[in-house]
Amino acid sequence: MRVAAAGLACLTAALAAGAARAGPWTQPAGQGQIILKYEDMVASRGFDPDGELADLPAERRDRSGGVFAEYGLTDRLTLQLKGDWQQGEDAFVDYDGRGPLEIGLTWQVWRGARTAVSLYGGYADGGEGRNAGYAAPGIGDHDWEARLSVGRSLADGRGFVDVQAARRFRDGLPDETRADATAGVHLNDDWMVLGQMFAGVADDSGARWLNVETSVVRRLGKWSVQAGWRQTVTGHETPAAQGVVLAVWRRF
């Protein structure tokens, strides 16, 4: 797959642990959080155009280190900034460079006692491949994204569900439609378990993917740390990647 869900996974996975202050729930005015995340994904097999697993010509490896920050401009409007550094190689491409730099706004359309609905609009400047002159896979020169998020807290306040749908308009590459879902359960005040799904399809190219991720989050005052495992469970024209996901963030 020339298109990965890594960028979106970084955003959704890290923010989900913030429960009622993330995703559909915008940041309160004057408050925010910053997140650092590392991913290391490996694939020796991939899904062919018919969705069947087949050996890749060579092992594919993708690593990324990213930063995400958001800040509440008002109680209903949150500014978001995101960027990362990507490194990877396979039988055809060897790249090492800056990933996309993205800026966007989330507007909370409606919020009730347990439910929130938000809209996001963002712009991303494409990445810069280094070693072989290639841009990192799946990055257009100039991308735009529109996203709808709906979240609901459980009645006892010990968990939540967050569902998102997005359309990515990409310059120089096929546009994408993405869908993501997160379920979180608080084991106690300090520990949370997350189950997540990241799916997408690229127009015209035939690439599609479904990634699942399970992780554990530990809260340490204003800090939180997350450790998890992600893998591609099905798709077309995409590597069957799997690997570790680590994140740390601080609320302010």
What residues pair up with 159 in beta bridges, in sequence order?
185
Tokens 């554990």 correspond to 216
Cα–Cα distance, 22 to 116 (Å, whole number): 10
**Alpha helices, DSSP H, located in the chain:** 6-16
Q: pLDDT tens, 60-85?
A: 999 999 999 999 999 999 999 999 99
SS3 13: helix
Cα–Cα distance, 59 to 38 (Å, whole number): 20
Range in 121-125, 135-139, 195-199, 236-240 with the lowest mean pLDDT:
135-139
Cα–Cα distance, 33 to 100 (Å, whole number): 20
Label residue 175 exposed, middle or buried (CB < 10 Å: 0-12, 13-18, 19+): middle
What letter represents residue 217's amino acid?
V
What letter represents residue 3's amino acid?
V
**Closest by CA position to 221, among listed 252, 182, 192, 186:** 252
Tokens 């799916």 correspond to 199
The pLDDT-based confidence of 100 (bands split at 50, 70, 90) is confident
Q: Are 227 and 244 in contact (CB under 8 A)?
A: yes
What residues pair up with 64 in beta bridges, in sequence order?
39, 86
Cα–Cα distance, 16 to 163 (Å, whole number): 11
SS3 235: strand
Helix or strand run (H / E) with residue 154: none
CB count within 10 Å of CB 141 equals: 14
**pLDDT surpasses 80 at 127:** no
Q: pLDDT tens, 129-158?
A: 544 333 444 555 789 999 999 999 988 878
The pLDDT-based confidence of 92 (bands split at 50, 70, 90) is confident
